[in-house]
Structure 1
Amino acid sequence: MAILNGSDLTLVKLKDIIFKEEKIRICPDAADQAAKSRAAVEKVVRESRTVYGINTGFGKFSDVTIDSEDTRALQLHLIRSHACGLGDPLPETVTRAMAVLRLNALLKGHSGVRREVLDRLADMVNLKMDAVIPSQGSLGASGDLAPLSHLALVLVGEGEVWQEGRRVRSADVWKEHGIRPVVLEAKEGLALINGTQAMTAIGALNYLEAEQLALQAEWIAGMTVEALRGITDAFHPAVHEARGYPEQSEVAKRMLGWLAGSRLATRQGEERVQDAYSIRCIPQVHGASWQVLGYVKEKLEIEMNAATDNPLIFDDGETIISGGNFHGQPIAFAMDFLKIGMAELANISERRIERLVNPQLNEGLSPFLSPEPGLQSGAMILQYAAASLVSENKTLAHPASVDSIPSSANQEDHVSMGTTAARHARDIITNVRRVLAVEAFCAHHACAIRGKDNMAPALLSKWEALGSVTRPLDEDRVFSKDISKLERWLLEDAGFTSPA
């Protein structure tokens, strides 16, 4: 049971909730704090004070005062009008994470929602009522308005949720469980949709996948080192300590661990003096990607525990301030940075693939790893496919965060495009996994040619695990099937039972 209190949610906890289906519970102290902020909202309504989002319009309509008897209608109109997302639905894992993160943000006690709203969000997670939310349509400020509006529609019984792969009306599922949908009161619609939980949910699941891919990239690279009779001296700890980046040193240490006991890897001068950069510089390049991951993790875990709506309530209601915590710039930057860091793992992997298949570079392996060069093409076009993906990544890696477009009649005149950055990062991560699957396939076959019994014990274990999914390249076949199987295996091996 994961207890949410608005302050200490981590990526590891989130992974357990999303992929291990761990139930969540609301921390009583956090609920009490939320109740105080709700009392402040109700006091504003009673006293007919003019406060943005409670009894005013939204965006450019912020100067329009709303009568007290219309505050309920105001909130419902808000989420209906803002639920204009476009495109294919986000994965269920992402929308479940959005519900968790939105609940956690409201539990900080600055948003002014009733306990009923908090409970229904928890119910959505615990009952696996994963909202159907279109993937496009957010500018990333004022937060993720369109995606979060689709989430809020579920709470009021007007949205759709996934049930056993089907889209069904949330009202029907609430009724099935004997639970009444929420009737929104003053400020609650705004509190539900004014935040960064779409980009942060996508970003969090991106990070979780990326972290595991970075680890998998190391043993896959290790297998390539063996296949190419690579030199292990380049991973000597003294080399990396001399530079000073701990992430680089840690990659080198793990590479030596994977290669320990190998009779295929060589020492300096045995076969050649030094390897090409894609082999020799694995710690430097992969280590730099780990530096990116460290930055991204820090920013995500701050945002996962942040109050990101507007206005925010402080001092038990004595202070209510309109600010801009909904602006997604920190996550936009983090996702753009993640795109670059992950794209590089694919770039260097594709160069290792080229070395495995190119007869001028593969240290005596058959051309394109073909069992009958000329009659059979072997892995020739697999390298093409990998090259296509890394080229696509270069386009996707263009930063979304440097763009902005004014909205709401120029009231909201600078936006983050953070959700676009997160979505593109997700696409890059998928491409990276596919490129690594190609390298794993080629290295698996190349090590079979070299003699798997001479492999390092740790890498032999991985070789055998891959053998349960694919077989060496003994004849030409439809290799896309092998790569699809390996892609799925890498995902499951990393602890993801479905695409995040």
Structure 2
Amino acid sequence: MINVGSRRLTVTDFEKVLYHGEPVGLEEGAQQNVSANYTFLQAYAQHKVIYGINTGLGPMAQYKISEDDQRQLQYNLIRSHSAGAGQPFAEELARATMLARLNSLMQATSGIHPSVVELLRDVLNSGVSPYIPERGGVGASGDLVQLAHLALNLIGEGEMYADQAWRPTRVVLGSRGMTPISVHLREGLALMNGTSAMTGVGMVNLVQARQVLSLSIILSAMTNELMKSFDDHFSLELNHVKHHPGQAHIAERMRHVLSDSKLIRKRPEHLYHRKIEEAVFTDKVQEYYSLRCVPQILGPIYDTFLEVQRVLEDEVNSANDNPVVDHHREMVYHGGNFHGDYVSLAMDKLKIVTTKLTMLAERQLNYLLNDKLNQKLPPFINLGTLGLNFGLQGMQFMATSSTAENQTLSFPMYLHSISNNNDNQDIVSMGCNAALMTRRVLDNSADVLVVQALALTQAVDYLQCQPRMSSFTLKLYTELRALVPAILEDKPRYEDIRTVRRYLLGLGASFNL
């Protein structure tokens, strides 16, 4: 069980809850702290001006709200901002948003009634998902629109995804013995005024980023292996003289994948320890950059992944709403902890480096498919009849298209602010947009890696080099061939792409990155 409130949550914790069915609990001491925080605010708020309790919201904060209308204000806020559009969040994104919001509220600085964290825990453990639309938030006063839809579900309104269908929330909660929350003080604002949607999506992105980076290391190593590259470009001796930890790490992972390969060549054996007579070398002295510079290309991607993970884990373990209620100091602090710039910038960084990873995979794929470049394989690694059959030609179009889309999507959302909310929110983060675009870039990247993996299996079939492959790459080849037979005849391949994608993402998840 993941006990929220007992320690910092990590990406691994999110992965366990979202993909492995790990239940969520509430740490007792943190729960008591939430209750104490609420009790303090309830007493402290009497006869004071506190934003979002007895004032209007946003640019209407100058208007006093009577005591009789204060609860209605919270309901009005939730309902009016449940105004998103577009596709609903995928289940794992909606559940990640709930877990992120729960962890933020368990920091006990939000002034919410304890029933809120209890219901969030119960909904997470029931396996149902709130309806949260993709479009709506600007990521500055938090993910207001996305989190309003979550809050709408928690008050028993809107829709939830349960039993493979969208159903009325009150029916879903009632059928599982759960009761919607009631507003006590500031539950609407406390649920909405935070970065939990962008952060939840970001945590899911990190899970997938780890998978695609692992796959890129494996497939880059295998590409070098089948092309009989020299081993010095991923050697310890070459890479330790460049003082970037990511580069050294990628080179070490490549050495791990290829540790017992008999195809990788030693440069001294071929070029140093014999007299060279020919005037024009038939052997390439150095490989193309997409083969030779893998540690230098994937290294900064790995370092960026670690940086983004640190930022996202800091954010998900933070109090990120406004105002901050400090019952220990007996004070309420107004500010902007809901602003999503940290997450927005981190997602843009992850998006940019994922696009570079995709570009590397696409170039390696092009090298494998172009017989004039590799001089070892038939065009498009066509194992059928040249001219009559097409090999991987159709798949390459998809990979090229996906790479181009990633390049276009990689303009940073962090730099795209539009003033809104009567200019109250005059500079915003667009953090949820950044996170969702990063998810799309990661999805595209996975599809490009699928085509590269299929090309490599075709290359093994043509070269008949199985006895000389490393044990790691031979296992990969064998498992892929069990899923998809050699491509000889022309037939639709989209189902093969889906099948191989599922397998590869599982492999990426299990690889010790």
Question: How do residues 46-65 of structure 1 correspond to structure 2 at under 5 angstroms?
Answer: 47-65=46-64
Task: Please list the CA deviations of residues 171-202 of structure 1 after superposition, one character each: whole Å capped at 9, or x if unmatched.
Answer: 11222233321111211110000000110011
Deviation, 1:380, is: 2.3
Q: Give the corresponding residue for 2:451.
A: 438
Q: Give the corresponding residue for 1:457.
A: 471
Q: Give the corresponding residue for 1:417.
A: 430
SS of 1:87's equivalent in the other structure is: strand
TM-score (normalizing by structure 1): 0.96
Residues in 2 aligned to 1:238 and 1:346: alpha-carbon distance in whole angstroms: 28
Q: CA RMSD in A?
A: 1.5
Residues in 1 aligned to 2:122 and 2:367: alpha-carbon distance in whole angstroms: 53
Is this contact kept in 2: 1:37–1:110, CA < 8 A? yes
Residues in 1 aligned to 2:477 and 2:113: alpha-carbon distance in whole angstroms: 55
Task: Please list the CA deviations of residues 382-430 of structure 1 after superposition, one character each: whole Å capped at 9, or x if unmatched.
Answer: 2222111111101111100101111211111111011111011000000
**Taking every aligned residue pair, what percent have the same amino acid on both sides?**
34
Deviation, 1:39, is: 1.4
Task: Please list the CA deviations of residues 271-294 of structure 1 after superposition, one character each: whole Å capped at 9, or x if unmatched.
Answer: 432111000011111111101101
SS of 1:3's equivalent in the other structure is: strand
Amino acid at match of 2:87: D
How many residues matched? Answer: 495
The change in CA–CA distance for 1:212 and 1:199 in structure 2 (over 3 A counts) is: same
2:331 counterpart of 1:332: no
The change in CA–CA distance for 1:311 and 1:406 in structure 2 (over 3 A counts) is: same
Task: Please list the CA deviations of residues 288-342 of structure 1 after superposition, one character each: whole Å capped at 9, or x if unmatched.
Answer: 1101101100000000101011111114462111100000000000000001111
- Structure 1: runs of 5+ lacking an equivalent: none
Deviation, 1:488, is: 2.1
The change in CA–CA distance for 1:315 and 1:184 in structure 2 (over 3 A counts) is: closer
Task: Please list the CA deviations of residues 87-119 of structure 1 after superposition, one character each: whole Å capped at 9, or x if unmatched.
Answer: 000011111111111111111111001111111
TM-score (normalizing by structure 2): 0.94
2:168 counterpart of 1:155: no
Amino acid at match of 2:503: W
Is this contact kept in 2: 1:145–1:193, CA < 8 A? yes
Residues in 2 aligned to 1:156 and 1:438: alpha-carbon distance in whole angstroms: 46
Is this contact kept in 1: 2:122–2:178, CA < 8 A? no
Question: How do residues 41-80 of structure 1 correspond to structure 2 at under 5 angstroms?
Answer: 41-45=41-45, 47-80=46-79
383-392 or 431-440: bigger deviation: 383-392
Question: How do residues 92-171 of structure 1 correspond to structure 2 at under 5 angstroms?
Answer: 92-171=91-170
Q: Give the corresponding residue for 1:230.
A: 229
Amino acid at match of 1:458: F
Residues in 1 aligned to 2:387 and 2:264: alpha-carbon distance in whole angstroms: 29
2:8 counterpart of 1:8: yes
Deviation, 1:484, is: 2.2
Residues in 2 aligned to 1:256 and 1:49: alpha-carbon distance in whole angstroms: 65
Is this contact kept in 1: 2:55–2:63, CA < 8 A? yes
Amino acid at match of 1:58: L
370-379 or 392-401: bigger deviation: 370-379
Q: Give the corresponding residue for 2:274.
A: none
Q: Give the corresponding residue for 2:382.
A: 370
Residues in 1 aligned to 2:16 and 2:306: alpha-carbon distance in whole angstroms: 20
SS of 1:135's equivalent in the other structure is: strand
Deviation, 1:454, is: 2.0
SS of 1:88's equivalent in the other structure is: strand
SS of 2:374's equivalent in the other structure is: coil
Deviation, 1:40, is: 2.4
2:307 counterpart of 1:298: no
2:396 counterpart of 1:383: yes
Q: Give the corresponding residue for 1:349.
A: 361
Q: Give the corresponding residue for 1:35.
A: 35
Residues in 2 aligned to 1:457 and 1:449: alpha-carbon distance in whole angstroms: 19
Is this contact kept in 1: 2:102–2:121, CA < 8 A? yes
- Structure 2: runs of 5+ lacking an equivalent: 272-282
